[in-house]
Structure 1
Amino acid sequence: MDLEQHLYWHSHKITKQDRQYVHGHKSYVLWFTGLSGSGKSTLANALECELYQLGLSTYILDGDNVRHGLNSDLSFSEHDRKENIRRIGEVCKLFVDAGCIVLTAFISPYREERKKVRKLLREGEFIEIYVNCPLETCEKRDPKGLYALAREGKIKNFTGISSEYEPPINPEIIVDTDEKSIQENVDDIIQYLLDKRLL
């Protein structure tokens, strides 16, 4: 007999709504997706600073940081990329249940995987932010030197070069980091959150 057959969900007296009440705000995921070098981490950091100044409880899950710990056992194969996002989705669900606003900065190249994360949460708790930036601009920035290595064939399965990126079809927010400044994009996101009464 498998132990998995004897796993049961335990309900707790303190609910997500109770935790939101303590924090003084709703909890949700701000999911930044886009090519490497598009500005996801920079934008998420700038936005978190503003939310922090407003007294909100936040946490950033950054692609590179998470791969140093929780997902250090995963490669960049298609299978492992999907598992990477699956795990992050489950962590996001826990943060939202804890009453926090979680900001994620992951390339998350596949629409289906992002859709699966959305389904883990209630309506309105997953806010997909497409960090739209032309590949040419991302390559010019190349902050980590990865595009150059990918072009030389030294990095395999690199999104935008040897691996596909599927842009969101109907994201809640689109930001343009090629034409607009980080502050302008932060202001646009803040305005969206205000309009949706999430702040």
Structure 2
Amino acid sequence: MEKIIKLITIVLMAFTLSSCVVLHEEYFFPKAIGGKVEKEWCRGHVGVDNQLIFSFNDVEVKMDVWENQSITRLGISFKLHSKSEVIWPQQPLFVTTSSSQTSIEVKSFDRLIRTGNDITSEAYPVDTIMTKKDNLDYDTFYESFIVSEDNIESIEVSAFNLIINGKQEQIPLSVFSKKSGLFLHPLNC
């Protein structure tokens, strides 16, 4: 009997460590002309459709909105491959909710540097060149902004300009609408 219990325990542990669970989740579904909607977890295979991605040659611009303890945040990141460059020029970023329009002052983006399990950052102020530096597959530059300190149902992010590899590009108006449902989430990914 003891061997059977050990075997069942091992099988359950292996199943748990290599599987997914179904969880209820509220999230902000993104939409914009030219943007691709992708899941966040396990390289885009499970979880909610909450990331909006724009691709420009060797640069991916990602945006997502999330809520934690009634504070809603907007995240913007740049994933640079090869010898790509991105500049966020000085410009206002407007975010509109059902109750207000806010101008967000973008000051800088952080280059996220991974060393083993540690992540450090290096600030890149507005109007400076963010470029891939290491021999890694890509470098990531990231910043998040508080959108609202109240619960909201949707937000619109104004169009904004970037200079990518020396060419001016525009990210169009993006809309994020709150939705909920049941989704697969990884236990080990």
Question: TM-score, normalization: structure 2?
Answer: 0.26
Normalising by structure 1, report the TM-score: 0.25
Greater per-residue helix proportion? 1
Larger Rg: 2
